Structure 1
């Protein structure tokens, strides 16, 4: 394909602007951007030199006639724009979560299959250099057969962050939608994506959050925390999603005879004592990745029975986009692979609506909180 692929962006905040930069770096042309508010959309379009802007998604699809649409809004606003885009024959790049519930995610997955369009699902922290390095080591047999994995993170997030989409289930909020999707994708990229069984517990432990006007960019929401939380005029919103979870999974890996046991533990409101981390254990060693998405230093535990810090190999480092910010770096990586795939190049497997649909169904099962056995009657 000689011509540049045309991209239409849905969303004007941190993700929308990040997606636009990523597709431009991948060689595509960003021809339009759509947002909720006319003036905000105009300002972003002018800042980013995007020709078409507006608040009418259907009209933008008709005017811009994009090859690709990039969905960068909260999950609760994904279904209709994606459905319309697929019906128009567009390929779809969608940030996580895919939608706000399993049923709509299944519908979009099947529709994309029926229409023959390509999809990308941006549970994309699997593309940090350390995770790519870990995948190389594990698939090379350095730790033997993988046996178990732990993903541990505690954010100590301020409870007073203004009420918004992340607090509401119907908007695609909750930590399973916006944290677990990344860690599950990381694990699947390293040991295999055949998820056999799942069990979990969630806690709706935030309660309420202050309602504050003017919050537009998710990345700067902390700047809007009210200075006086006891102000009687302050209004409050009630959160109806989980802010902590514990999930157990069993994954069939082509690298191991037995299923791999995985623990996902996340508490967004509690303080950490030691580093957040992801650890891959095997029959011959282990790999420790520092950070809640494993994007920090990698350590290998090998035959010498000591932990050794390893640098990212040059052949992996050169594949990582040279941009600031881990989130942006991963968007750039996935957008590049997606564009190359659409253009007919051979690329490695990347997350698609298959994963997005599967993850949304798994999240629905975990949120039921019904995997408990009553032992209160036992002696």
Structure 2
């Protein structure tokens, strides 16, 4: 394949602009961007130097003739845009969640297989430097056989964040759609991607949020929190998604004889006391990653039975894109892998619509709330 790959972006907010930068960093040409509001998409296109701006996805596909589309809108808008793009013969880079249901996610995965297009699913925090380091250490046998993984995070999000897509199931909201795919991808990248079984519990401990006009960028939504929440004229929207979850899973690992037990514990609205973290426990040691997505310092527990902070190997440090922000680094990494793959270069396996459809089905299972055993009548 000769020439630069052409990319069309769906979405004008933090993710859309971040995806555009990531593909430019990978050597592709961003030829167009599509959004809902004409003034917003035109302003973003002008600011970023993107030649085409529009509000019709089909028209943009016809005019721009992209090789790749990048889907950076809330999950509720993914299905139709992705379907049209695949039928147009485009490769697809899609942020999480893939869609709003396992059924539609499977449909898109099968369509991509049928049309022979490449896909990338941006459950992409598996590409932080510390996670890449942990993956290497586990593969080298540093902790023996992995037996258990613990993923703990508490975000303490403001309850007054304006009502929007993150509060609505049909728009791809909920903490399972927007936090869980990253931690699940991290764990599978380190210990093995065969997910054997899963169960969980979810809780909506928010209930409602104020309705405020003018919120276009997810990253700046806090700036729109009303000053007077007791204003009688203020309208409120009802949440129908989970803001906290607890998930248990068993994974088959090529590095262990028995399934690995995994705990995913996330509280979206509650404060943390100790640090958020991800820990990989093995028969001969353990690896601790600081931070809710394991982006911080890696510490190792080995034969001397003490925790030691390990330096990052130089080659791993060099492999991480030199851009500001963990989210942005991971988008750049995955976009680079997809571009290389399309161009015929050999790359390591990366998350695709196979994982995206699988994760969406797992989220449906967890949300089904079919995992409790009534013991109230036990004597």
Provide the TM-score with structure 1 as the length reference: 1.00
Residue aligning to 1:246: 246
Q: 1:255 & 1:352 partners in 2: Cα distance?
A: 23
Q: 1:113 & 1:125 partners in 2: Cα distance?
A: 25
Residue aligning to 2:297: 297
Q: Secondary structure at the match of 1:318?
A: helix
Residue aligning to 1:72: 72
Q: 1:258 & 1:324 partners in 2: Cα distance?
A: 40
Q: CA offsets per residue over residues 100-150 of structure 1, 9 Å max, x none?
A: 111110100000000000000000000000000000101110000000000
Residue aligning to 2:283: 283
Q: CA deviation at 1:370?
A: 1.0
Residue aligning to 2:262: 262
Query: Counterparts in 2 of 1:1-379, with a 5 A limit?
Result: 1-379=1-379
Q: 1:133 & 1:222 partners in 2: Cα distance?
A: 34
Q: CA offsets per residue over residues 319-347 of structure 1, 9 Å max, x none?
A: 00000000000000000000000000000
Q: 1:36 & 1:6 partners in 2: Cα distance?
A: 22
Q: CA deviation at 1:2?
A: 2.3
Q: 1:294 & 1:110 partners in 2: Cα distance?
A: 32
Q: 1:224 & 1:176 partners in 2: Cα distance?
A: 24
Q: 1:366 & 1:57 partners in 2: Cα distance?
A: 33
Q: CA deviation at 1:204?
A: 1.2
Question: Which residues of structure 1 form unaligned runs of 5+?
Answer: none
Q: Secondary structure at the match of 1:300?
A: strand
Q: CA offsets per residue over residues 12-31 of structure 1, 9 Å max, x none?
A: 00000000000000000000
Q: Secondary structure at the match of 2:179?
A: helix
Q: 2:117 & 2:276 partners in 1: Cα distance?
A: 38
Q: CA deviation at 1:205?
A: 1.1
Q: 1:60 & 1:220 partners in 2: Cα distance?
A: 27
Q: CA offsets per residue over residues 217-272 of structure 1, 9 Å max, x none?
A: 11111111111000011110000000000000000000100000000000011110
Q: Secondary structure at the match of 1:251?
A: strand
Q: CA offsets per residue over residues 133-169 of structure 1, 9 Å max, x none?
A: 0001011100000000000001111100000000000
Q: 1:376 & 1:158 partners in 2: Cα distance?
A: 35
Q: 1:156 & 1:107 partners in 2: Cα distance?
A: 35
Q: CA offsets per residue over residues 172-201 of structure 1, 9 Å max, x none?
A: 000000000100000000001000000000
Q: 2:156 & 2:38 partners in 1: Cα distance?
A: 35
Q: 2:290 & 2:281 partners in 1: Cα distance?
A: 14
Q: 2:96 & 2:336 partners in 1: Cα distance?
A: 18
Q: 1:66 & 1:182 partners in 2: Cα distance?
A: 28
Q: Secondary structure at the match of 1:130?
A: helix
Provide the TM-score with structure 2 as the length reference: 1.00
State the Cα RMSD in Å.
0.5
Q: CA offsets per residue over residues 58-98 of structure 1, 9 Å max, x none?
A: 00000000000000000000000100000000000000000
